[in-house]
Chain A
Amino acid sequence: MLTHPAYARPETLYEALLFLKTHGIDTRPLAGGTDVMVDLRAGKLKSEYLLDISRLKELQGIGLSKDGLSIGAGVTISEIYNSPLVAKNAPSLIKSCAFFGSPQIRNVATIGGNVGNASPSADTVPPLLVHEARAVLASENGERTVALANLFEGPYRSGIRPDELLIRFILEPADGRFTDFQKIGRRKALAISRMSMALLADPKEDGTLGTVRLALGSGTPTPMRMEAVEAFLKGKRADRQTVEAGSRLMAEEMVRITGRRPSTEYKEKAVQGLFLRILAPLVE
């Protein structure tokens, strides 16, 4: 059954934030609509207001500065996919956008919506995590910056306060380090990730791994960095034996964090396979 939320279209970010200050708790922001309109149709949208933030200029733009690579929350998945700046500085994010939904979805869905919806399977989140992305949030009181890793509170609970909007993300550029994204879905297009993984690694000249950052999607209640696996790999040579031991640790960690569920038997094997696949280019 369709609910009938009222519609509001702010002209400026300030106007949007003033609205949220009063009505935040009863409001769902509307950008690309690819999650919101599905919820609306399913009768799952309980909000009194839809705040259309899709035209706010303050949420647009991709830029590089000394702070890092900045991506506006209102930037669409297509815009990211076609951005030479992102291709150079965060290639794994480009890859997550290449397999995101479908062309029609990518043309309207935004990175802010993907993150803000806080789905455990949000495709852009594992790449953002390995780039140690910071989320900039604004309310009428001002801005705050949070490490994305600390933003999520649980499945579909983003930790964004009702009076706040996601404004942009700031990523640490890859700077020539190896990065990749891998995903398993039921079909190639439009598949909700059954599991996804992002890696940023820095193999040294002596063959050992310097920085290793590894993030898992759909395997834990929120996408997260797998710090125990990172620590295990760091300083080691990426040989067959190490990587296989790493893949077993990856599965153990996932189960330790998530607990055993009906899907665990599948996911334990899937996570190991995905881990071996993403590390394969670094294996001696």
Chain B
Amino acid sequence: MDTYSVIPIRFTLNGDKVSIEAGAHETALTVIRERLSLKGTKEGCGMGECGACTILVDGKSVNACLMAAPQLEGRTVMTVEGLGREGKLHPLQEAFLEHHGVQCGFCTPGLLMSAQSLILETPRPTHKQVVEAISGNLCRCTGYQQIVDAIQYGADKTGGEE
């Protein structure tokens, strides 16, 4: 079996096919944020504690800082940039604005992705399910209540559009 210091990887990022070479010493976060310049995915702690780097891989929330870049091979990845469209926010994003779920904004992309992962599985989450779904995301500004409200409201609106 061959070993690689860098290996070609192909994956789908926000609907587009991506080909890039990366090594196991690089994380999915480095590739997305530094190499592909999608700056919505943040690095907070770099060790899976804060959730600022949360992305969806095959629809499930993961910490991009803990995924080796070659593990992206063949996966379907969504970052916060894939949530809305140019000029049109996703209902979850609108809800964050309306319910004051954003203060400094650093945790927001990660929280949006955790919320999106939740409503893909549970379109009408309870308060408890929302709290559980964002338990891996730290916010040091809001105190969370506004975020929980925003996600429940956003889930209702998302469901309403489908």
B4 to A, closest residue via Cβ? A7
Q: Tell me, in angstroms, the Cα distance from A4 to B61 when the chains sit together.
A: 26
Q: Tell me, in angstroms, the Cα distance from A104 to B135 when the chains sit together.
A: 9
Chain B residues near A101 (CB, 8 Å)? 48, 136
Contact call A103/B133, Cβ cutoff below 8 A: yes
A196 at the interface (CB under 8 A from B): no
Contact call A8/B1, Cβ cutoff below 8 A: yes
Chain A residues near B66 (CB, 8 Å)? 32-34, 37-38, 105, 108
Given A103-B132, A104-B136, A30 contacting B62 (CB threshold 8 A): no
Contact call A103/B67, Cβ cutoff below 8 A: no
Contact call B135/A30, Cβ cutoff below 8 A: no
B69 to A, closest residue via Cβ? A7
Chain A residues near B70 (CB, 8 Å)? 7, 9, 52
B68 at the interface (CB under 8 A from A): yes
**Nearest CB of chain B from residue A37's CB, rounded to whole Å:** 5
B68 to A, closest residue via Cβ? A33
Q: Tell me, in angstroms, the Cα distance from A8 to B1 when the chains sit together.
A: 7
B36 at the interface (CB under 8 A from A): no
**Nearest CB of chain B from residue A1's CB, rounded to whole Å:** 10
Chain B residues near A242 (CB, 8 Å)? none
Closest 5 CB pairs of A and B: A102-B136, A189-B135, A7-B24, A6-B3, A107-B60
Contact call B71/A105, Cβ cutoff below 8 A: no
**Nearest CB of chain A from residue B11's CB, rounded to whole Å:** 14
B108 at the interface (CB under 8 A from A): no
Query: A41-B47, A104-B114, A190-B49 are known contacts; what are 17 more A-B pairs with Cβ within 8 Å?
Result: A4-B25, A6-B3, A6-B4, A6-B24, A7-B4, A8-B3, A9-B70, A33-B66, A36-B68, A37-B27, A37-B67, A38-B47, A52-B71, A103-B114, A104-B62, A107-B62, A108-B62
Chain A residues near B73 (CB, 8 Å)? 9
Q: Tell me, in angstroms, the Cα distance from A58 to B130 when the chains sit together.
A: 34
Of residues 49 through 66 on chain B, the ones whose CB sits less than 8 Å from some CB of chain A are 49, 51, 54, 60-63, 65-66
B5 at the interface (CB under 8 A from A): yes
Contact call A190/B71, Cβ cutoff below 8 A: no
Of residues 1 through 30 on chain A, the ones whose CB sits less than 8 Å from some CB of chain B are 2-10, 15, 18-19, 30
Contact with B along A80-109 (1 / 0, CB 8 A): 000000000000000000000111110110
A54 at the interface (CB under 8 A from B): yes
B134 to A, closest residue via Cβ? A103
Q: Tell me, in angstroms, the Cα distance from A6 to B54 when the chains sit together.
A: 26
A40 at the interface (CB under 8 A from B): yes
Of the four ranges (under 10, 10 to 19, 20 to 34, 35 or more), the interface on chain B belongs to 20 to 34
Chain B residues near A9 (CB, 8 Å)? 7, 70, 73
B2 at the interface (CB under 8 A from A): yes
Q: How many A-B residue pairs have CB under 8 A?
A: 102
Contact call A102/B135, Cβ cutoff below 8 A: yes
Task: Give me 19 A-to-B residue pairs in the complex whose CB atoms sit less than 8 angstroms apart, sorted by A's number.
Answer: A2-B25, A4-B25, A7-B3, A7-B7, A7-B24, A9-B70, A30-B71, A33-B66, A38-B66, A41-B65, A52-B68, A78-B60, A102-B136, A103-B132, A104-B114, A105-B66, A107-B60, A188-B135, A190-B136
Q: Tell me, in angstroms, the Cα distance from A78 to B57 when the chains sit together.
A: 14
Of residues 14 through 69 on chain B, the ones whose CB sits less than 8 Å from some CB of chain A are 23-25, 27, 46-49, 51, 54, 60-63, 65-68
Contact with B along A50-61 (1 / 0, CB 8 A): 101010000000
Contact call B5/A105, Cβ cutoff below 8 A: no
B117 at the interface (CB under 8 A from A): yes
Q: Tell me, in angstroms, the Cα distance from A18 to B2 when the chains sit together.
A: 12
Contact call A103/B4, Cβ cutoff below 8 A: no
**Nearest CB of chain A from residue B7's CB, rounded to whole Å:** 6
A169 at the interface (CB under 8 A from B): no
**Nearest CB of chain A from residue B112's CB, rounded to whole Å:** 13
A181 at the interface (CB under 8 A from B): no
A152 at the interface (CB under 8 A from B): no
Of residues 111 through 142 on chain B, the ones whose CB sits less than 8 Å from some CB of chain A are 114, 117, 132-133, 135-137
Chain A residues near B71 (CB, 8 Å)? 30, 33, 52, 54
